[in-house]
Amino acid sequence: MNIVIIGPGTDPRRWGTYFVNRAESDGHTVHKFSYRLNENTSAEDVEKNFEEFLHTIDRVDLFFYNSMGGFYPGNPSEYVTGHTVEYNSWIQGIMINGAIPHMMSTKVLDKMDESCSMAFFTSGGSYFIERDNYLDLAGYFGTKGVMNQLMVALAHNNDKKATSCCFSPHFPYEDPEMANKVMSSLYDRILNLTKEDNGKILQCFPPNANIHYFEGRNL
């Protein structure tokens, strides 16, 4: 399988690098791409670099967007009277969880057909509105919600009929054995996506680490 991963990371104890190492050891070809948006790197720069990165890749069987961002606003103090909103931080979250994966998806489609897949990593808080925890993470969960909608739109509108889905896991990194169980379950599933997964959110939580659809199925 020819895999493109965005955000491979560097820590083998964490998901991105775990996935890369295991896929390569299983004989898959993994193309790794990383980026950062800051005062020196614009979205247009990322697009140009990504186009150059894709130029030598003939086919993409799996496009896996694993980048994280959108952490503002994410603190109780950012919702009180007189708080000065950081517009650029909001924009960065939308770019990382919406605009950049949108751009990358439409470009990798040129290397795909109906047997190929796109997978995005979302978070439960982006669709579990009635909850009693993490009630200050509007930026992260809100922009991950944008990613959910992007995934659904790609699932039903991409011209190559490639499968598009989101994974929503919890990695208990404080418990390495359980984290490894979750990562192993995710690895097996992401490499075996089917048309049934198109437009769906696939959840994976401890302690069983079973892959199951979000009960709402389609958003």
Instruction: Report pLDDT digits (tens) over 40-71.
Output: 999 999 999 999 999 999 999 999 999 989 99
Task: Tell me the average confidence (pLDDT) per consecutive run of 10 residues in the chain, 219 residues long.
Answer: 97 96 98 94 96 97 95 97 97 97 98 98 93 95 97 98 97 96 98 97 96 75
For the 2-213 domain, the top CATH level (class) is alpha beta
**CA distances to 88, 137, 139, 203, 204 from 74, in Å:** 14, 4, 6, 23, 24
Q: What is the structure's pLDDT at 219? A: 46
Give the residue extent of every domain in the chain. Answer: 2-213
What is the structure's pLDDT at 32? 98
Q: What is the CA radius of gyration of the chain?
A: 17
Residue 124's pLDDT is 93
Q: Show the tokens assigned to 204.
A: 């994976």
pLDDT at 215: 78
Give residue 216's pLDDT. 67
The pLDDT value recorded for residue 218 is 47
Residue 102 is encoded by which pair of tokens?
Answer: 């949108």
pTM of the predicted protein model = 0.94
